[in-house]
Chains A and B, each alone.
Chain A
Amino acid sequence: MPSFTAFIKSLIIASLIGVLGSGVFIYSGLYPIGADVPHNQLSYWLLETLREQSIARAASDIRIPENLNTSDRLLAGGADYNDMCAGCHLKPGKIESDFTLGLYPAPPNLTLMSDGHGHEHLGKTDDESLKRQFWIIKHGIKASGMPAWAPRHDDERIWDMVAFLQRLPKLTAEQYQILTARGDSSMQHQH
């Protein structure tokens, strides 16, 4: 029967081989890093799990404003969504853009209900989902194409966008156009 010391030695050697092998693989440049080649299942699971666990932990202490469902928030958040988010996350009546086709991971289509996103946040409560969206907009996600909007947008403005996202999946294209237009409606009649 092998001794405990021999077991530890084997473990250390195996770990060293693992670290060395990983280093050789990383420096070999063999991993396909192009956005047009999907991750293998192991890499995808690792990155997805890392992302979701990190966001869940970081967002747990966020306090949700009580007045999230107001027309003023919808108007402010809608206009910002249209200017800053719709290119990647789409708008009613649009099913793809250059960004949705070219980015990897593909940005979720936020005009769909959460079960249509294809992302792993289905088990979350409504509050957890709101906190998650706020955190992602504010801080962004590394190496995903999602920028952090915090540097030039305060929390209230980010909550406005979160408020708009709650109603977005049920908006028609006409409703979306009216809610997100920044221009003055009376301008249309000035010829």
Chain B
Amino acid sequence: MKQKLIFPTLFLAVLGVAFTAQAHDPKEHMKGAESPNCAGMKDMDHSKMDMNDPVMQAMMKQCMKDMDHGDDMQDKRHNKAQDSEGHSMNAPEHPH
């Protein structure tokens, strides 16, 4: 009797694992996923933003990399300009 129950139980367990593995994964949506358009964030007046607002916090999280990247790009442009003027050796490190 016990042996008869083993196979159906095993089958249901395997089926359960299989269905769990098929659970809707957000990565399924990653192909061709839109990137956040963070350009507008840079122009916003940060003093007027409510940093305790979860919407603002979420936007900051989304655009953190973009804003860092933007700063890096600015640094590179800044350093390049200094290089061309021949001041690069004496230029202080850009403060962050």
Chain A residues near B54 (CB-CB < 8 A): 69-71, 73-74, 167
| Chain B proximity of A17: nearest CB distance (Å) | 50
| Contact between B55 and A189, CB atoms less than 8 A apart | no
Q: Which of A72, A171, A184, A188 contacts B55 (CB 8 A)?
A: A171
| Contact between B41 and A178, CB atoms less than 8 A apart | yes
Separation of A73 and B23 alpha carbons in the complex (Å) = 19
Interface residue? B12 (CB, 8 A): no
| Contact between A186 and B65, CB atoms less than 8 A apart | yes
A-B pairs under 8 A by CB, number = 89
**Quick one: given A75-B62, A167-B55, are A181 and B29 in contact (CB under 8 Å)?**
no
Chain B residues near A182 (CB-CB < 8 A): 26, 29-30, 33-34
| Contact between A189 and B26, CB atoms less than 8 A apart | no
Q: Which of A69, A79, A175, A186 contacts B59 (CB 8 A)?
A: A175
Q: Chain B residue with minimal CB distance to A178?
A: B36
Interface residue? A177 (CB, 8 A): yes
**Quick one: given A152-B24, A189-B69, are A75 and B33 in contact (CB under 8 Å)?**
no
| Contact between A184 and B22, CB atoms less than 8 A apart | no
Chain A residues near B58 (CB-CB < 8 A): 71-72, 74-75, 78, 179
Interface residue? A117 (CB, 8 A): no
Interface residues of B in 4-56 (CB under 8 A from A): 22-24, 26, 29-30, 33-38, 40-41, 54-55
